Homo-oligomer: A and B are copies of this chain.
């Protein structure tokens, strides 16, 4: 069960019968926050899952409009999804941030930190705006992941701010060792 497969199954459980495009939009809306899935991936994955019996495929026959395929979970798909949800997960993600690579290899601190700080600040503001839409309604999952995003953006802002202040103090001043 790859992450993309889990996403497709999980979203189709919510959506009922839907097209690959619907799944892609739902993924953007609900997961875009911490996980992007290009549409080409979604098309490939629905096809694959259908071939493996996790999804049932059906051509959409509504008169107007272009031909397309609708998918829904089979019993097998439901079972696989439930099993995935139950499995614990001890693996840790990597930061894998290209900006840290540049930092490691001695990029100019002021330039890099400035650009990153601005971008992370914008992201934080966007997340906070989104969070204010939370009405407390179920399901909680999406809001919890949004909170994770906010906490991480906060530390990024802190991290790059410290570096920027260190850099402005001049190259001789010891950076970031409070």
Give the interface of A toward B (CB within 8 A).
Answer: 3, 6-7, 10, 30-31, 34-36, 81, 84-108, 111-112, 114-116, 118-120, 123, 136, 139-142, 144-145, 147-149, 151-152, 154-155, 158-159, 163, 174-177
**Chain B residues with CB under 8 A of A106:** 85, 139, 141
**Chain B residues with CB under 8 A of A114:** 88
Q: How far is the CA of A65 from the CA of B24 in the complex (A)?
A: 53
**Chain B residues with CB under 8 A of A95:** 34-35, 93, 148-149, 152
Query: What is the CB-to-nearest-CB distance from A11 to chain B, in angstroms, rounded to a whole number?
Result: 9
> B152 near A158 (CB under 8 angstroms)?
no
Q: Which residue of B lies closest to A155 (CB)?
A: B151
Q: How far is the CA of A91 from the CA of B102 in the complex (A)?
A: 12
Q: Is the interface of A mostly helix, strand, loop or mixed?
A: helix
Known: A95-B35, A98-B89, A115-B89. A6 touches B105 (CB 8 A): yes
Closest 7 CB pairs of A and B: A34-B95, A93-B97, A10-B105, A104-B141, A88-B115, A151-B155, A90-B115
Partner of A93, one of B98, B107, B118: B98
Given A84-B102, A91-B119, A104-B142, 18 other A-B residues pairs in contact with their CB atoms under 8 A: A6-B105, A31-B104, A35-B95, A85-B102, A86-B107, A86-B111, A88-B111, A88-B112, A89-B102, A89-B112, A92-B119, A93-B98, A96-B96, A97-B148, A104-B145, A105-B141, A140-B175, A148-B159
Taken together, the copies of this chain in the complex come to: 2
> B89 near A116 (CB under 8 angstroms)?
yes
> A97 near B34 (CB under 8 angstroms)?
yes
A-B contact pairs, 17 of them (CB 8 A): A10-B101, A34-B94, A36-B94, A86-B107, A89-B115, A89-B116, A90-B116, A93-B95, A95-B152, A97-B148, A104-B141, A136-B177, A144-B163, A147-B159, A147-B176, A151-B155, A151-B159
